[in-house]
Structures are given as C-alpha cells and as structure tokens.
Amino acid sequence: MKNFSELLATNFSIYITCLVESENINQVTVLVNDRQLSSSGQRFCCKIDLLEPIDIKVLHAGAYVKSLKFDGWECRPQYGEETPGLWKFSTNGLAFYQWQHHATWQGWLLNPQ
C-alpha cells in the first residue's frame, strides 16, 4: 500500500488567490513569504509548496482585501489582521492544512510514523 504522498494524484502545492479592491491598484503590494506577487487587475495569484508555512502581507493605501482563497477555500474575512496600511495573514509557522484544522476546530492531523 502506498503512502499518501506517493499517490500520483497528490498535488504538492497550494494555489492561493487574493482579490484586493482599491481605487489605485498600483499602490497595492502583495507579499507571500516575502515574495512579491504580480497582479492581473485586482487579482493576485501564486502557488506554494504544500508543507511551507504561509505569511501573506498586503501593503496598501486605502485598499480592502475582499477575498483570500487557498485551493478554493475562502478564509477571508474570519482570518487575517487589519492595521492601517497593512493586512496580514499567517499560519503561525505551520503548514497550511495543519493550520486550517486547528483554526476551524476540525481536530488533529497526525504525522505519519
């Protein structure tokens, strides 16, 4: 029997989509793990490694983070922190799906032996 990570259908990355509303999108910078994302209009997208912790910062002047999705799961507005000029989200050093299980009270994820 194969381990989960050995299955051919396993996707080893997470697709992140961030939608930001702003009158001047040129004044918005989105950083994922300190890497700046390019945008197509108000939409910022990227893929990251499945086991990589996630830190997202949206530097802005009067913008609003309307949506933040991980593999289609919407985490905005419940999760994230807004301060003047900065919106941020962090998995607090955990891989995304470990963080999601803790944050949504879905129980424990066990590490394989």
Residue 84 covered by a domain: yes
Residue 8 covered by a domain: no
Please count the structural domains in the chain: 1
Spell out the SS3 assignment of the chain: CCCHHHCCCCCCEEEEEEEEECCCHHHCEEEECCEECCEECCEEEEEEECCCEEEEEEECCCCEEEEEEECCEECCCCCCEEECCEEEEEEEEEEHHHHHHHHCCCCCCCCCC
Residue 4 covered by a domain: no
What confidence tens digit (pLDDT) does each residue in 1-44 have?
666 566 665 678 999 999 999 888 888 999 999 999 988 889 99
Residue 77 covered by a domain: yes
Residue 3 covered by a domain: no
Residue 74 covered by a domain: yes
Residue 44 covered by a domain: yes
Q: How far is CA 17 from CA 21, 61, 108, in A?
A: 13, 20, 26
| Domain that includes residue 95, residue range | 13-103
Please compute the mean of the pLDDT values over residues 70-90 and round it to a whole number.
92
Residue 67 pLDDT > 90, yes or no?
A: yes
Residue 8: its pLDDT value, please? Answer: 61
The CA distance from 59 to 41, in Å, is: 16
Q: Which residue, among 43, 105, 48, 40, has the nearest Cα to 79 in the 3D structure?
A: 105
Confidence of residue 109 (pLDDT cuts 50, 70, 90): low
Residue 6 covered by a domain: no
